[in-house]
Amino acid sequence: MPRFLSAKPDARLIPLPWSTPLAEWPTEYLIALPRGISRHVVRFIRVGESIYAAKEVIEDLAVHEYRLLHDLKRLGTPSVEPMAVVTGRKATGGEPLDPVLVTRHLQFSLPYRALFSQGVRGETVERLVDALVVLLARLHLLGFLWGDVSLSNVLFRRDAGSFAAYLVDAETGELHDQLTDGQREHDLQIARTNLFGEFLDLEAGGILDGALDPLTLVDSIENRYRELWRELTGVERFSGSELHRIESRVRRLNALGFDVAELDIRTSNEGQTIQIQPKVVDAGHHSRRLMRLTGLDAEENQARRLLNDLDTFRFRTGQQQVDEAIVAHQWLVQVFEPVVTVVPPELRSKRDMAQLFHEVLDYRWYQSQREFREVPIAEAARGYINEVLRNLPDEAISTEFQPIDQSGRQLSNPYDPSAGFADENEQAPYDPWEDGAEPVAEAAGPFGGFDIEALRAKARQADPR
């Protein structure tokens, strides 16, 4: 009987066909959504309205990843939410099956392969890369050594004009109080290799903008990471007459989306030189502020955009002296809500609401420019919905079956992009290594295949004395 390890059990998971290897589950339980490549068998499963990702993986790693994802959530990191580990699975014949790690499908998330679908613009790639760099720096600030940084192991969500990256694969992760430079360097080396491979793969598949060069891209990732890290943690020295530089540093960090919780300031005895170093910085400066003022949950750049609109509202209504929280409430009721409530229910799964509001603001700006007038927000919202939103693909989850890969070719397995294209089916050549595959019966032995007699025999062979 399978066992469920879970902090928030979903009873609807229990009757699923756990005694079947995940790769053989009947399609009635599955939903084909775009996703990244993977070594393990990964499937999206649907129970009622909810969608989960299921990954078949050996027990130690399943439990390890479940716990780490929990810790990451607790620390407020953008990552997928672990739901359960299903252990003790047995096939109907009695042979044991690997456990399954279940995570909640991240709504509105876009795996990088889906983002590259319509052939991708250089600018978009840069933004994806930026999002990945920010995620990596955030993880490193928390003391998380990732061990497998790659595009396949993150999910992207739209974040105003850019993207926010979420961690999806924590299998190789380790959490410490603080990482050493060497540990960060290690992650960076891994990132370089993996991303270079992924870009080459997109290039080989004909879906990378010809103007983009994989090597330049990975170099820029490394440089941006180093720049960001320096800004987040670096020591800055200046003379006592330049005290404004303390404030400038904090503002720069805020602009990057980070709050400074602790700033270490040291002065020389006579106060001639000052040295500052941020000690604790937290990501989410704007999204926290938006949450505090309006209760809205948004990505960092969306929050920035919404807050700007809020500031404009405050100015326009002449309420600079009024308490910010009161104005925020007015803005929510008079501006934000009217926009989102006019969205017909059937279109709501195309964009999350903060993103939609951002896009309406963009739409209004262009329309106002075109028509030389200040277009009211409600009017812009209607125009956006009819002219833009209706024609966008669903992004919460694409409910249609998607047997087609981005390049327009048929996937050989609609549930698994790692398996390549259907039109590449060819006879595999004879492989003597596989044929004479080593006897592996010992693996099944009671003691993990430990065989001292075999070791002694091997030693005698090597040294016949």
Ligand X SMILES: Nc1ncnc2c1ncn2[C@@H]1O[C@H](COP(=O)(O)OP(=O)(O)OP(=O)(O)O)[C@@H](O)[C@H]1O
**Interface residues toward ligand X, by CB under 6 A:** 35-36, 38-40, 42, 53, 55, 80, 103-106, 109, 111, 148, 152-153, 155, 168-169, 171, 176-180, 183
Taking CB under 8 A as the criterion, the residue among 2, 21, 197, 383 binding other proteins is 197
Positions touching Mg ion (CB under 5 A) are 38, 153, 169
Out of 35, 142, 198, 384, the residue judged to bind other proteins by CB under 8 A: 198
Cα(280)–Cα(130) distance, integer angstroms? 22
Strand pairing partners for 43? Answer: 54
* Cβ atoms within 10 Å, residue 104: 15
Confirm or reject binding of residue 67 to other proteins (CB under 8 A): no
Query: Residue 159's beta-bridge partner residues?
Result: 162
Residue 28 or 431 with smaller CB distance to other proteins? 431
Conformation bin of residue 446: beta by default, left when phi > 0, alpha when psi is -120 to 50: alpha
Give the shortest CB-3-to-other proteins separation in angstroms: 19
CA atoms lying within 13 Å on the CB side of residue 378: 7
| Site residue total, other proteins (CB under 8 A) | 71
* Tokens describing residue 335: 């501006």
Q: Which of the choices Mg ion, ligand X, other proteins, none does residue 449 contact, using the CB cut-off of 5 to 8 A by kind?
A: other proteins
Cα separation, 382 vs 333, whole angstroms: 18
Residue 395 in contact with other proteins, rule: CB under 8 A:
no
Cβ proximity to ligand X, 178 vs 461, nearer residue: 178
Q: Is 158 exposed, middle or buried (0-12, 13-18, 19+ CB in 10 A)?
A: buried
Least distance in Å: CB of 291 to other proteins? 32
Contact between 339 and 357 (Cβ < 8 Å): yes
Residue 211 interacting partner from ligand X, Mg ion, other proteins, none (CB closer than 5 to 8 Å by kind): none
CB 450 to other proteins: min, Å: 4
- 438 near other proteins, judged by CB under 8 A: yes
- Looking at the chain, how many residues does it have? 465
Q: How far is the CB of 232 from other proteins (least distance, A)?
A: 17
Phi, psi of 94 (to 5 degrees): 100, -15
Structure-block tokens of residue 305: 């955009």
456 binds, among Mg ion, other proteins, ligand X, none (CB under 5 to 8 A by kind): other proteins
Pick the binder of other proteins from 1, 7, 11, 440 (CB under 8 A): 440
Q: Give the one entry of other proteins, Mg ion, ligand X, none that residue 80 binds, where binding means its C-beta sits below a cut-off of 5 to 8 angstroms depending on kind.
A: ligand X
Question: b vs e for 40-63, b when ≥16 Cβ sit within 10 Å of the residue's Cβ?
Answer: bbbbbbbeeeebbbbbbbeeebbb
Site for other proteins in 76-115 (CB under 8 A): 98
- Give the nearest distance from C-beta 63 to other proteins in angstroms: 13
Q: Which DSSP letter does residue 172 get? A: T
Residue 372 binding other proteins, by CB under 8 A: no
